[in-house]
Structure 1
Amino acid sequence: MAEPTVSAVILAGGRGRRMGYQDKGLVECNGQPLVAHVMAAIAPCVGDIAINANRNLDEYGRLSRPVIKDRHPDYPGPLAGIAAGLDWCPTEALFVVPCDTPGIHGCCVERLRAALDGAEIAVAHDGHRLQPLHALVRRRCRDSLTRFLAAGGRRVDQWIETLDWRQADCSDRPEMFFNINSPEALHD
């Protein structure tokens, strides 16, 4: 099967509770917002990039266009950001990545693309566990996700289990998935 054309959505729509309610994507790391690190790493491997955000839209807009909001109110979680990304997605497949993993590498996209084959979604595995917010999702999964959210579903891993999915081995690069969840983690 031919490799799909890929766009990306960077998930930056959360409340940032563990980061003291700061907008995590805009928190600086080595002189740049976290989201800028992610954008730079994935840009060579994808076409269009959107940022999913629910606040500070003008600031995100200076970094990338488009900036897309959740269609669901009250910060229902990353699935709402994935749904917004699938609503926007101009290509056959959407790379989903959180804004708080500045060590992400383009090889993640390539491994997910290779693993996807005929499946609906490919999910990265770091050698210890699945990384469900590092995934390549076919645009055709939008209706499935809409139904899952409408039924009250909120957990990414539970939605993935409803799909035909594959695992991408990223066990040789587990540092790609280290996420910045607190101000202290910025200095680790």
Structure 2
Amino acid sequence: MTEQGQIAGVILAGGRATRMGGSDKGLKAVAGRRLIDHVIDRLSPQVQAMAINANGDPARWAEFGLPVLADSLPEYPGPLAGVLAGMDWAAENGFAAVVSVAADTPFFPRDLVRGLQASAGPAGLCLAASPDDTGRIQRQPTFGLWPVALRHDLRRALTGGLRKVVLWTDSHGAGQAVFAGAADPFFNVNTPEDLARATEIAERLA
């Protein structure tokens, strides 16, 4: 099992946010703080180093003092491109694995890394999951544990046209770590209405 000190974190902020008018969702405010502030606070105690995956001008993230990693593949091929950028950066800096989280999901578990490690499959891969309103377990493909040793295989898959996260993770026998709570731990903000809902949740959890 990978030791926690060998794990880096990457915050996936590279999406185009079309339902939010194309602006960076991570910079939207929830309960008086930006979404990414909530995310950094939850992730930083769980990993040894962090980076932000974002495309476009990196200067808009400069105040956070974190490396900004652009997708290495063109045409916004999806979250796996951000994961790959994180894996490459982690490998260059001597980490064995990277944990990915979404910049628009401010309530993810404070024991995310520990849970992913405990449920990792034979290749060291693991995706987070949570129950929906009906109790059915749904995978959360932007939240995962990704061994850097698999980065070349992921690059080949993406270059070959693969876009669906779980098709690749299933091919490597990824584990599944289930998280649940009073509020949906993976509630994410896609619309202005979601921002208002996130504020309600944050106030309730405070």
**CA distance in structure 2 between the partners assigned to 1:145 and 1:72 by the alignment:** 12
Residue 7 of structure 2 corresponds to residue 3 of structure 1 = no
Evaluate the alpha carbon distance shift between residue 56 and residue 28 of structure 1 in structure 2; reply closer, same or farther with a 3 A threshold.
farther
Q: Tell me, which stretches of 5 or more residues in structure 1 are unaligned?
A: none
**CA distance in structure 2 between the partners assigned to 1:52 and 1:2 by the alignment:** 23
C-alpha root-mean-square deviation of aligned residues, in Å? 1.6
Do 1:3 and 1:114's aligned partners in 2 also have CA atoms closer than 8 Å?
no
- Aligned partner letter, 1:167: Q
Give the fraction of aligned pairs with identical amino acids, expressed as a percent. Answer: 38
- Aligned partner letter, 2:120: L
Aligned to 1:159: 168
Aligned to 2:177: 168
> Matches of residues 39-188 of structure 1 in structure 2 within 5 Å?
39-89=40-90, 90=93, 91-116=95-120, 118-127=122-131, 128-172=137-181, 175-188=184-197
**CA distance in structure 1 between the partners assigned to 2:123 and 2:182 by the alignment:** 23
Task: State the Cα distance separating 1:163 from its structure 2 match.
Answer: 1.1
Task: State the Cα distance separating 1:7 from its structure 2 match.
Answer: 0.5
Do 1:53 and 1:68's aligned partners in 2 also have CA atoms closer than 8 Å?
yes
Do 1:43 and 1:49's aligned partners in 2 also have CA atoms closer than 8 Å?
yes
Aligned to 2:203: none
Do 2:10 and 2:83's aligned partners in 1 also have CA atoms closer than 8 Å?
yes
What SS does structure 1 have at the residue aligned with 2:185?
A: helix
Q: What TM-score, normalized by structure 2, do the two folds share?
A: 0.85
What SS does structure 1 have at the residue aligned with 2:3?
A: coil
Task: State the Cα distance separating 1:160 from its structure 2 match.
Answer: 1.1
**CA distance in structure 2 between the partners assigned to 1:72 and 1:143 by the alignment:** 13
Q: Tell me, which stretches of 5 or more residues in structure 2 are unaligned?
A: 132-136, 198-206
What SS does structure 2 have at the residue aligned with 1:116?
A: coil
Task: State the Cα distance separating 1:53 from its structure 2 match.
Answer: 0.5
Greater displacement, 160-169 / 44-53: 160-169
Task: State the Cα distance separating 1:171 from its structure 2 match.
Answer: 3.1
Evaluate the alpha carbon distance shift between residue 123 and residue 30 of structure 1 in structure 2; reply closer, same or farther with a 3 A threshold.
same
Q: What TM-score, normalized by structure 1, do the two folds share?
A: 0.93
What SS does structure 1 have at the residue aligned with 2:106?
A: coil
What SS does structure 2 have at the residue aligned with 1:171?
A: coil
Task: State the Cα distance separating 1:74 from its structure 2 match.
Answer: 2.3
Aligned length: 188
